[in-house]
């Protein structure tokens, strides 16, 4: 469910939002609703959790044990199952599958204030390590009433659910691969601390765990020198997952305003399509997302084609198209100029170099082949 929909549909509430401060006020109101108005399943109701045969790595290579000392210092409630407290969960094997199939780089941090050092040494996927990632992900989903299946593929392609994943060129860091601009955005107007205080007052154990561990955030931490603030334990991966949620919420709040002057697009949007566009905005920014949509709308006018819901569905695996365009760059330029009547927005985006959501769709197909439908969806 597109979880900002209730606010968007209220009488012109977003049209009155003129400043970042008011935007944060709207967000704070939503947080109160999420944490105080949820109805939980009575404890008397018997649940039958899916029995999982789960095994974890036992590592002897010292180069892969660098996170184990920090894990050993964490409270057991962050490292053991909280399934009895939450209704919606994906299998642990889904997170393990993502971790095994991640092929990026990893950071090691001497402290939260340190500059990360980059290596190819994947941390040992021990039980404490896997469970910390798994619990952080589900606590954020549970606290804010989200469906964990709807964000699984995004975190999978960002970091493979690895707490210390890092982009060695852009220094995007942590389980949610935050950039400097992303950090600046969610730390504006003291949003993180205000959110943390709201969560601390919540009766939901998941919200309390988030608030207790994320800690105060130094706004100077957007610098490369301090990027460990999004990686180091014990505050991460909870801090990074909370930031991911706040960034996504800000995108959802602004999406309707951003597209209000594109009626050919706006009028056919569904909650599912809005969620897909929010994925895209996480990677391209709202300005870049609108630029792509504006270009697509103009392209459709040139061939007298009225945009439909199906046209905007980004759940398309275009791996072969990406491969052809990479091997034959001249075709990209030709396609940009061509007038093609039956072109989806997903195809238009890939032609113009925006492959993020297509990558999610490809990951979804891969996961489904190996894990079935239990992990994620778009």
Q: What is the pLDDT of residue 248?
A: 93
How does residue 221 score in pLDDT terms, banded at 50, 70 and 90? low
145 pLDDT higher than 50: yes
Cα–Cα dist 41/61, whole Å: 44
pLDDT digits (tens, 9 = 90+) for 252-261: 989 989 999 9
CA distances from residue 258 to 20, 183, 367 in whole angstroms, order as listed: 14, 21, 33
168 pLDDT higher than 90: no
Rounded to the nearest 5 degrees, what angle is found at the Cα of 164, between the Cα atoms of 365 and 222? 110
pLDDT digits (tens, 9 = 90+) for 81-134: 877 777 789 999 999 999 999 999 999 999 888 888 999 999 999 999 999 999
CA distances from residue 349 to 277, 292, 336, 346, 358 in whole angstroms, order as listed: 11, 7, 10, 5, 9
How does residue 184 score in pLDDT terms, banded at 50, 70 and 90? confident
158 pLDDT higher than 80: yes
306 pLDDT higher than 90: yes
- 276 SS3 class: helix
CA distances from residue 311 to 276, 295, 307, 334, 356 in whole angstroms, order as listed: 13, 14, 6, 21, 17
Cα–Cα dist 157/24, whole Å: 29
10 pLDDT higher than 60: no
Residue 5, number of CB atoms within 10 A of its CB: 13
222 pLDDT higher than 60: no
44 pLDDT higher than 50: no
226 vs 21, higher pLDDT: 226
How does residue 35 score in pLDDT terms, banded at 50, 70 and 90? very low
What average pLDDT does this structure show over 3-23?
Answer: 40
Q: How far is CA 93 from the centre of its chain?
A: 19
**pTM here?**
0.85
pLDDT digits (tens, 9 = 90+) for 327-376: 999 999 999 999 999 999 999 999 999 999 999 999 999 999 999 999 99
Report the range of poorest mean pLDDT among 22-26, 90-94, 192-196: 22-26
Q: What is the pLDDT of residue 37?
A: 43
pLDDT digits (tens, 9 = 90+) for 230-239: 999 999 999 9
Q: What is the pLDDT of residue 113?
A: 84
17 pLDDT higher than 70: no
Cα–Cα dist 267/261, whole Å: 10
pLDDT digits (tens, 9 = 90+) for 64-87: 999 999 999 999 999 998 777 777
How does residue 137 score in pLDDT terms, banded at 50, 70 and 90? very high
């Amino acid at each position: 469910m597109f979880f900002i929909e209730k606010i968007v549909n209220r009488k012109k509430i977003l049209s009155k939002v003129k400043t970042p401060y008011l935007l944060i006020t709207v967000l704070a109101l939503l947080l109160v609703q999420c944490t105080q108005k949820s109805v939980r399943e009575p404890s008397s109701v018997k649940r039958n959790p899916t029995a999982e045969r789960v095994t974890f790595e036992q590592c002897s290579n010292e180069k892969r044990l660098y996170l184990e000392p920090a894990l050993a210092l964490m409270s057991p409630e962050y490292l053991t199952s909280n399934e009895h407290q939450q209704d919606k969960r994906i299998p642990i094997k889904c997170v393990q599958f993502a971790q095994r199939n991640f092929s990026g780089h990893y950071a090691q941090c001497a402290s939260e204030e340190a500059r990360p050092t980059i290596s190819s040494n994947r941390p040992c996927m021990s039980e404490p390590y896997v469970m910390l990632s798994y619990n952080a992900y589900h606590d954020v989903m549970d606290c804010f009433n989200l469906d964990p299946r709807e964000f699984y593929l995004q975190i999978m392609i960002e970091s493979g659910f690895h707490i210390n994943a890092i982009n060695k060129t852009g220094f995007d860091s942590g389980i949610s691969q935050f950039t400097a601009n992303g950090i600046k955005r969610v730390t504006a107007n003291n949003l993180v601390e205000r959110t943390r205080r709201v969560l601390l007052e919540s009766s939901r154990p998941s919200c309390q765990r988030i608030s207790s561990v994320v800690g105060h955030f130094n706004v100077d931490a957007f610098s490369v020198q301090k990027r460990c603030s999004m990686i180091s334990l014990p505050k991460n991966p909870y801090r990074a997952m909370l930031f991911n949620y706040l960034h996504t919420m800000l995108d959802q709040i602004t999406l309707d305003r951003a597209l209000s002057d594109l009626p050919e697009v706006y009028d056919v949007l569904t909650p599912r399509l809005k969620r897909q566009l929010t994925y895209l905005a996480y990677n391209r920014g709202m300005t870049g997302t609108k630029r792509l949509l504006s270009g697509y709308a103009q392209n459709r006018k040139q061939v007298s084609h009225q945009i439909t819901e199906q046209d905007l569905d980004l759940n398309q695996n275009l791996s072969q198209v990406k491969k052809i365009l990479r091997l034959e760059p001249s075709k990209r330029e030709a396609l940009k100029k061509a007038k093609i009547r039956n072109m989806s927005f997903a195809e238009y985006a890939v032609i113009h170099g925006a492959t993020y959501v297509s990558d999610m769709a490809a990951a979804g197909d891969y996961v489904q082949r190996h894990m079935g439908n239990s992990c994620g969806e778009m």
